[in-house]
Amino acid sequence: MITNPILRGFQPDASVCVVGEDYYIATSTFEWWPGIMIYHSKDLIRWELVARPLCRKEQLSLRGDRNSGGIWAPHLSWARGKFWLLITDVKTDQCFKDTLNYIMSCETIDGEWSNPVFVHASGFDPALFHDSDGKSYVMSMLWDYRPYKPNFNGVAIQEYDLEALKLVGKPKTIFHGSGWGTTEGPQILKKDGFYYLLCAKGGTGFSHASVVARATSLWGPYELSPYTPLISTRFAPDSPLQKCGHASFLRTSAGEWYITFICARPLTLQRGNCILGRETGLAKIIWEQGWPRLAQAQTAPYSKREGGEIHLPDRTVILPKPPTSAGWNCQTVPPLTLEAPLGAELLVQNTDASTQTDFDEAELPPYFHSLRIPLEDKLSLKERPSFLRLYGQESIASLHRQTLVARRWQSVRFQAGTIMEFTPKSHQQMAGLTCFYNTENYMYAYVSYDEELGCRILDVLVCTKGKTMVKLGERRIQIPEDSTRIRLEVRVDREKLNFFYAFDAEAFLPLADTLSAESLSEDFIRDSALVFTGPMVGMCVQDLYDHSCYADFDSFYYQEYEKANYEGRENDGKHTSRSCG
């Protein structure tokens, strides 16, 4: 059996590419660097990270990109002996959207990808379609800045020359939507004489969906499927998977059909906060009378209700009315578990993403990211062997040059920590452990210097929707002068988040009061800004004076405890882990 999601924690917009018996998935990374994550599998159960194509500073700069800007919805395909990626770098979010679309290629998935070549700036989430006659086409949604026009103004397609790397002819709008809200993320599948257009609909929240239309000509006209939407949890508030949409077709070598799709897991049913962000799920589909639909679906108990309300202890949920268009059915809610593909029935899915490093590697482990730019000379694994040395730059609120190394949350119950050596000389120098959503929403257990006390101190900085506060302030913790190794740990138990600290080999003590992990969810933040990513946990350093100070990190661990209790892990002075109960 396969349990959804298959890629956990902030892994949205999955684009699937099948080459022979190999399956590849590319996911969005937004403002995080390296850009784009590509996973490989031969069985749809076991997925391994094999490439991060945007990894050289000359390829693209995300410096200054807004929060949740950067790399949106990459599209991965195979043609003419190469892998192709079509990507969007989103620079602004006003009535105008500067959505810069690029194409890049590589002969091997894990090779050195080409520098991106500009395609156009018309809309985001573009895709390539390679037709059987050898021609290729670029598709994208049309964004219209005019207030008296729909912002999402249809799906356009234009021929693209893969040899010359340039557009051919003029674009043509082929699809204007289906009445399910915004239309984006178009992809085309050619099958049995039809062109099947698969589009994401309804935004990225709880009304998200994917719909299918088909035509006998690439240029249309396109007829909407009677199974509309193909996938959605819009009318299923009790489903453990929510926000389902933005799908991608794949066919196995055994002839089975699946889709990957965006999903999110709320902490509580009836649409609680989804603190892991948008993840990647998998569902099997079947074809009926030439149309795809889910082979296995959860029945939505509220799908036949005419809107109305559900009264919960803490709030009232307003149920939208199901659409009146013909073809609505409740078989659109994907299953939490599904059968493994043929030939893979005995394989076991790994659902534990725990990692630990002592920084003995030649390179930083690939699950780590920095913000917007590569750190280059601000990061070293060689200056002090078996340590990660990070040099401070701009503040933790900067959209330009800051020193932060972090990895995804992939469970709602985990602990993560590091051991740090740091000797700041000014309050302008800081380093520590952060749980970070974006530059306006984070929690930061940091070490700095206090000139009044004449010593190093520990405190917690919390920023929520752009408003920053220090948790301890006058109660800040003084660090003994002879303490060399500062151990910091965060423990997340669903909605509860707690920082802990210890000096040298002493026992952990709590640092500040319990904080809300839910404040790092897009659902909590969304009323103040459009956000599409997910929380990260990691190490950072700031030097607000001359960018010369550094901190040395001796280890970093991230351990999930969905199924196991890690109480009693050996305290060897490099990393300590305890159950948070």
Residue 544 CB-half CA count within 13 A: 12
How many of the other CB atoms lie within 10 Å of CB of 360?
10
Q: b or e along 416-445 (b: 16 or more beta carbons within 10 Å of the residue's beta carbon)?
A: bbbbbbbebeeebbbbbbbbbbbbbbbbbb
CA distance linking residue 158 with residue 169, whole number of Å: 7
Tokens of 398: 């900067």
CA distance linking residue 567 with residue 167, whole number of Å: 59
In angstroms, what CA-CA distances link 311 with 143, 305, 314? 38, 15, 8
Is the separation of the CB atoms in 231 and 210 below 8 Å?
yes
Is the separation of the CB atoms in 242 and 202 below 8 Å?
no
CA distance linking residue 554 with residue 560, whole number of Å: 20
Tokens of 556: 């970093």
How many of the other CB atoms lie within 10 Å of CB of 270?
16
CA distance linking residue 522 with residue 278, whole number of Å: 9
CA distance linking residue 490 with residue 166, whole number of Å: 49
DSSP annotation of 314 reads: S
Between vectors from CA 222 to CA 220 and to CA 228, what angle results, nearest 5°?
Answer: 165
Question: Is 314 part of the annotated catalytic residue set?
Answer: no
Is the separation of the CB atoms in 162 and 207 below 8 Å?
no
Is residue 442 helix, strand or coil?
strand
In angstroms, what CA-CA distances link 171 with 120, 130, 134? 11, 16, 19
CA distance linking residue 351 with residue 285, whole number of Å: 23
Report residue 26 CA to chain centroid gap: 11
Question: Is 554 part of the annotated catalytic residue set?
Answer: no
Question: Which string of DSSP letters, residue by residue, matches 387-448?
Answer: SEEEE-BS-TT-SSS-EEEEEE---SEEEEEEEEE---SSTTEEEEEEEEEETTEEEEEEEE
Residues listed for the chain: 581
Residue 423: which of 553, 549, 554, 574 has the closest Cα?
Answer: 549
CA distance linking residue 14 with residue 27, whole number of Å: 5
Strand-pair partners of 173: 156
DSSP annotation of 32 reads: E
DSSP annotation of 222 reads: P
Between vectors from CA 17 to CA 200 and to CA 133, what angle results, nearest 5°?
Answer: 95
DSSP annotation of 376 reads: G
| 65, 89, 184, 495: the active-site residue | 184
Residue 436: which of 474, 388, 391, 395 has the closest Cα?
Answer: 395
Is residue 569 helix, strand or coil?
coil
CA distance linking residue 83 with residue 65, whole number of Å: 27
Catalytic residue positions, numbered: 13, 184
